[in-house]
Structure 1
Amino acid sequence: MKRLHPAWLVAAVAFVALVGAAGFRATPGVMLHPLHEEFGWSLGTISLAVSINLLLFGLTAPFAAALMERFGIRRVVAYALLLVSAGSGLTVFMRHSWELIALWGVLVGLGTGSMALAFVATITGRWFVKRRGLVTGILTAGGAAGQLVFLPVLALLVEARGWRAAALTVAFAALLVVPLVLWRLRDNPADLGVTAYGATDASPPVVVSGGAARRALGALRGAARVPAFWLLAGGFAICGATTNGLIGTHFIPAAHDHGMTEPVAASLLALIGLFDIVGTIASGWLTDRMDSRVLLGWYYALRGLSLLVLPVLFAATVRPSMLVFILFYGLDWVATVPPTVALCREYFGAAGPVVFGWVFASHQFGAAIAATTTGLLRDRIGNYDLAWYIAGGLSIGAAALSLLLLRTRRGVATPAPVAVPAV
């Protein structure tokens, strides 16, 4: 019987860690109204904490990728899970909005940011040569799986026992993953005396000089000179605005505005997570076989069209048309990740995971802006319709940015070296 390659075990542990990190990121939508009702904070104030969480979730990613290169994947992920657990658990003691920002925004944002999609790029870059796109899709789906597992449970907990029970559940779940990470996650194939999956010879370990901040900022300086970086970052910023920032944060309150109960709306979001698993894995499979630029163009264009029709789909009950939207949006949710990771690897080589960390930072920057501005729009005009229309137009713009990458397909530029594998 052929022995399972250790790369698949590492990918499995990374998947579980991503699921654990996703738990707290799934809670903003089910906690907006409970926090508003208990403390009297406006949706705009609560959305600000969500925005800081999303922003740090993105800005931490490139530095976390550099820290993984310097101190190891296992150590960084274990500490990140502890931060998520602490930030979630301590929210039960808060009384003021600044505490929400410090715990929900800062601590959890730093922790989840350390296990963001740059973590996925690092794992696939070190452990896989073959099936990189497919594994990227599977690991990215870990976030969707976390949403699928946690969101309905959290919604029921909030309804039956209050939001504190939900926060403690997430804290405990993240804490449970730490021993598994310490036991099975490894930094490099050489640690186990093997080569990366599909490699014909052993890859030398990455030698990093200087601190993590220097590494991350050096990668940004090099990438900023390549036009493709700005096209990728611009499209991914819109991706974040239309997923985590808009739908992930405000879909449940928007459905509630139309008379739908929060558990039902949360279940619809969980269905998005279910279909997202299928869509992201399929996108990874397609990324191994098709031009990633074309894939991104299709994904963003179809997302934009779906958002333009969303305002007429809301009702007090779940109609078939809303289920069609949930199916479609779920398949498209983070299908953009595998082709974006592949393009960062294509354009930036060994620096690809760290550069992707900066592209992902733009994703979360877009999400943070969308979360706050959408909350403010809802407070000002009393509904979410304008937000959906703006997001639809932006998504079509992201499709145009992605197709502009076709101009750079030949003669790929290379940024200044920032820290490459030793030879």
Structure 2
Amino acid sequence: MSFGPLVPLRSADQGGGVTQTLSPKNGTGALPVHPVRRPPRVHPAWYVAAVTFVTIVGAAAFASLPGLLIDPLHAEFGWSRGTIGLAVSVNLALYGLTAPFAAALMDRFGIRRVVVCALTLIAAGAGAAVLMTEPWQFVLSWGVAVGLGSGSMALAFSATVTNRWFVARRGLVTGLLTAAGASGQLVFLPLLSWIVDRHDWRPAALTVALAALVVVPFVWLLLRDHPADVGLPPYGAKEFVPRPAPVSGAASRAVRVLRDAAGTGPFWLLAGTFAICGASTNGLIKTHFVPAAHDHGMQITAAASLLAVIGVFDIAGTVASGWLTDRFDSRRLLAVYYALRGVALMFLPLLLAPDVRPPMIFFIVFYGLDWVATVPPTIALCREHYGEDGAIVFGWVLASHQVGAGAVAVVGGMARDAFGSYDLVWVASGALCAMAALMALVIRRRSETPGSPEAPETPVAATA
């Protein structure tokens, strides 16, 4: 005997507080019943978002360190900046390439297990780095181990949590979770720069390992995989959503989603713009701003503090971008973000000096507001065009972000070795941002794209 689609059967107790959903017959012939509780005053989705935020903050220490390592490693081992940049490039590339598989693994094994394993791998890689004596060991520990672990904690993690737990306010929540990385940078960057300046780089690497390990029990005890685990519909949903069965074949699914998405124009435009986003943020500013400022006589701690200020305004900019994404055309938002970023980079060579002057502060404030403001509209466009596969598609788009970041991490170091300054890299990156602004405007809406997958409607209509 077989059963058709699930039919929710609603029955109220004397208090009117219980709803039940029948699922298909299990192996014993019984019909399992999933109780659905009356929504509490504060939906548990917000608690899950808070746990995710704190988790990303704790894991963000690994992203704060690479730019601080270039000068100390060059001084201690004599490695060229291009060689050091290679390890950072591998880290950034694996960060992106792991993301789509991590999103699929979360569908198979659950968010909590994948995140715990990722944090443990980050701790192991950062801890092993203190024992290295050769460049290949740096590539293996920081590039491969930390890259794989951080990739599993990438923005696909935020997209998966948002897609599962929220129907309303997705743009706002995406902005908040994206800002968590900036918050971690704000917390750890000044501390790590002080440790590197006063006590060498090895204690700083151990601090990263410790930060990742501290978050592990927090995730294991408090993070929940799905709203059905607590008997409630997602936030903003009118109906209960049963927990889906584990999806096997995570790797094959990620590849299949890539194959299907690669046949559509929006994917390549989103991947291209996000590659330029990575090149102009993680690959350029986060990796090379501190050594570039040091070239102009600025103290390392002062330059690192400026990056931390970027983290302060990053939070405000990303949350505001999420709010705007719920209300305006994501394509036009992206075009504005990239165009303004390109203009700022063109002026940066004129602003670097031994001391921090008002024009540099203005640049830092603006760049902070714009840093990952591109994420909420990019995720929204992935969701609009690719529906339930949107988180995995965004994982692949994020892979392009990190490939772009990795390329500039290497090229920037090589340019510094060859020309003695980063000026050419700043200008070239500004030109790339102008190109990204034009690419964003070319992306079609889902209704304008022939053969694009159907996607669920967003709860708040986007208007321009």
TM (normalized to structure 1)?
Answer: 0.96
Q: Which residue of 2 aligns with 1:332?
A: 370
After superposition, give the CA deviation of every residue in 1:345-374 in whole Å (9 maximum; x if it has no partner). 000000000000000000000000010001
After superposition, give the CA deviation of every residue in 1:36-56 in whole Å (9 maximum; x if it has no partner). 111111111000000000000
Q: Report the CA distance between 1:73 and its aligned residue.
A: 0.2
C-alpha contact 2:384 2:446 (8 A) present in aligned 1: no
Letter of the aligned partner of 1:55 in structure 2?
A
Q: Which residue of 2 aligns with 1:380?
A: 418
Of 249, 255, 270, which residue of structure 2 is paired with 1:211?
A: 249
Of 210, 229, 239, which residue of structure 2 is paired with 1:201?
A: 239
Q: Which residue of 1 aligns with 2:458?
A: none
**Tell me, what secondary structure is at the counterpart of 2:133?**
coil
C-alpha contact 2:387 2:453 (8 A) present in aligned 1: no
Q: Which residue of 1 aligns with 2:132?
A: 94
Q: Which residue of 1 aligns with 2:209?
A: 171
Q: Which runs of 5+ in 1 are unaligned?
A: 418-423
Aligned ranges for residues 233-382 of structure 1 at < 5 Å?
Answer: 233-382=271-420
Q: Report the CA distance between 1:410 and its aligned residue.
A: 2.5
Q: Report the CA distance between 1:207 and its aligned residue.
A: 4.0
Letter of the aligned partner of 1:130 in structure 2?
A
Q: Report the CA distance between 1:121 and its aligned residue.
A: 0.6
Superposition misfits of 4+ residues, deviation over 6 angstroms: none
Q: Which residue of 1 aligns with 2:164?
A: 126
* 2:83 aligned with 1:6: no
* 2:269 aligned with 1:231: yes
Q: Which residue of 1 aligns with 2:174?
A: 136
Larger mean CA deviation between 292-301 and 1-10 belongs to 1-10
Aligned ranges for residues 36-185 of structure 1 at < 5 Å?
Answer: 36-185=74-223
Distance across 2 between alignment mates of 1:120 and 1:42: 36
C-alpha contact 1:279 1:335 (8 A) present in aligned 2: yes
Q: Which residue of 2 aligns with 1:24?
A: 62
TM (normalized to structure 2)?
Answer: 0.88
Q: Which residue of 2 aligns with 1:220?
A: 258
Letter of the aligned partner of 1:190 in structure 2?
A
Q: Report the CA distance between 1:173 and its aligned residue.
A: 0.9
May I ask how many residue pairs the two structures share in their alignment? Answer: 417
Distance across 2 between alignment mates of 1:400 and 1:207: 41
Distance across 2 between alignment mates of 1:174 and 1:412: 45
Matched-pair identity in %: 62
Structure with higher helix content: 1
Q: Report the CA distance between 1:415 and its aligned residue.
A: 4.9
Q: Which residue of 1 aligns with 2:461?
A: none
Distance across 2 between alignment mates of 1:298 and 1:412: 26
**Tell me, what secondary structure is at the counterpart of 1:93?**
coil
Q: Report the CA distance between 1:406 and its aligned residue.
A: 4.0
- Between 1 and 2, higher relative CO (CA 8 Å, sep ≥ 6) is seen in 1
Q: Report the CA distance between 1:204 and its aligned residue.
A: 3.5
Letter of the aligned partner of 1:71 in structure 2?
F
Distance across 1 between alignment mates of 2:245 and 2:426: 46
Distance across 1 between alignment mates of 2:289 and 2:322: 27
Letter of the aligned partner of 1:61 in structure 2?
A
Q: Report the CA distance between 1:405 and its aligned residue.
A: 1.0
Larger mean CA deviation between 12-21 and 350-359 belongs to 12-21
Q: Report the CA distance between 1:414 and its aligned residue.
A: 2.6
Q: Report the CA distance between 1:92 and its aligned residue.
A: 1.1
After superposition, give the CA deviation of every residue in 1:294-349 in whole Å (9 maximum; x if it has no partner). 10000000000100111000000001000000000000000000000010000000
Distance across 1 between alignment mates of 2:246 and 2:265: 26
C-alpha contact 2:183 2:312 (8 A) present in aligned 1: yes
Q: Could you say what the CA RMSD is over the residues aligned between the two structures, in angstroms?
A: 1.5
**Tell me, what secondary structure is at the counterpart of 2:233?**
coil
Q: Report the CA distance between 1:208 and its aligned residue.
A: 5.3
C-alpha contact 1:51 1:105 (8 A) present in aligned 2: yes
After superposition, give the CA deviation of every residue in 1:248-291 in whole Å (9 maximum; x if it has no partner). 10000000000001000000000001100000000000000101
Letter of the aligned partner of 1:54 in structure 2?
L
Distance across 2 between alignment mates of 1:130 and 1:349: 15
* 2:425 aligned with 1:395: no
